[in-house]
Amino acid sequence: MKRMFVMLVVALLLSGVAAPEVWAQDASEILSAEANEAVVQPEPEGGFHQMLKTKFIEGSAFYMSWIAIAFVIGLAFCIERIIYLSLSEINTKKFVASVDSALAKGDVEEAKDIARNTRGPVASIYYQGLMRLDQGVEIVEKSVVSYGSVQAAYLEKGCSWITLFIAMAPSLGFLGTVIGMVQAFDKIQMVNDLSPAVVAGGMKVALITTIFGLIVALILQVFYNYILSKIEALTSDMEDATVTLLDMVIRYDLRYEK
């Protein structure tokens, strides 16, 4: 529930960037000014922003709005994953050294407290293993391996939705492309003329929707690859820390268990 709440808040904050109503209003003012042949010099600041909004409405607000929604929701999932993975990162070497020092003194409770009070999947795996320290190395190994799979699933949670929106964005753009081409051919049929002016409107919709869909997919793909790199780094830390924990348990058994 907390994760969904964070995603909802992020989506609401980002929705202002892609609000079709605001873009449509500003773009309509620009288009009407051009229709009246009013010569307006573009302001240096916000020039690209104004052009982006103009192209948004020129690409048909209905289809472009769906691309914008896919971008906002996909970006919300990306930001949520990045925040979660960033909070899962710890100084693994320092944490392992602290647990090793506690076990070297024979203080299992101190080691448990260190693991319990440290965030992240590595600490969670250590706590599960330390809870079964008195049951032998084999039980500890099975416990950390099983719980490691659970933590890995938590790290990858929500990534499937990101891949969905990466695939949806260009698909929506291509849908607008097909519809724009159909509109162009409809105009050709109506006026029985193949002049560029007749098909320009439909071709513009076709090209703009494709461009925006591909741009959204590229942006989300960059975020997704960054997320995968963080997941791989955390998974590697978990595997290394698990092997170290088993070595600690063996040394503890040899030193303190009868």
- Residues in CB range of 225: below 8 A, 6 or more apart: none
Instruction: Please give the model's pTM, rounded to 2 decimal places.
Output: 0.73
49, 26 in Cβ contact below 8 A?
Answer: no
151, 128 in Cβ contact below 8 A?
Answer: no
Q: What is the pLDDT of residues 51-72, one digit of tens each?
A: 655 655 555 666 778 888 999 9
Q: What is the pLDDT of residue 38?
A: 37
- The radius of gyration of the chain's CA atoms, rounded to the nearest angstrom, is 28
What is the percent of the chain with per-residue pLDDT over 70, rounded to a whole number?
Answer: 67
- Distance of alpha carbon 54 from alpha carbon 65, whole angstroms: 13
Q: What is the pLDDT of residues 224-244, one digit of tens each?
A: 999 999 999 999 999 999 999
- Residue 17: pLDDT over 70: no
Q: What is the pLDDT of residue 74?
A: 94
Quote the crossing angle between the two packed helices 196-256 and 121-131, to the nearest 10°: 30
Quote the crossing angle between the two packed helices 196-256 and 47-58, to the nearest 10°: 110
Q: What is the pLDDT of residues 201-226, one digit of tens each?
A: 566 666 778 888 899 999 999 999 99
- Distance of alpha carbon 204 from alpha carbon 207, whole angstroms: 5
Of all residues in the chain, what percent are helix, strand and coil, respectively (each to 5)? 85, 0, 15
Q: What is the pLDDT of residues 130-185, one digit of tens each?
A: 998 888 888 888 989 889 889 999 999 989 999 999 999 888 888 777 777 777 67
CA distance to 4, 93, 146, 154, 168, per residue, from 218 (Å)? 24, 36, 36, 25, 12
- Residue 196: pLDDT over 50: yes
- Residue 35: pLDDT over 50: no
Q: What DSSP line would sit under 110-124, residue for residue?
A: HHHHHHHTS-SHHHH
CA distance to 66, 172, 189, 203, per residue, from 178 (Å)? 15, 10, 17, 10
Q: What is the pLDDT of residues 96-133, one digit of tens each?
A: 999 999 988 888 899 999 999 999 999 999 999 999 88
CA distance to 83, 98, 120, per residue, from 123 (Å)? 18, 11, 6
Q: What is the pLDDT of residue 133?
A: 86
Q: What is the pLDDT of residue 58?
A: 59
Closest CA to 164 of 228, 79, 73, 230: 73
Q: Residue type for 214, please?
A: L
Q: What is the pLDDT of residue 175?
A: 79
- Residue 25: pLDDT over 70: no
- Residue 44: pLDDT over 50: no
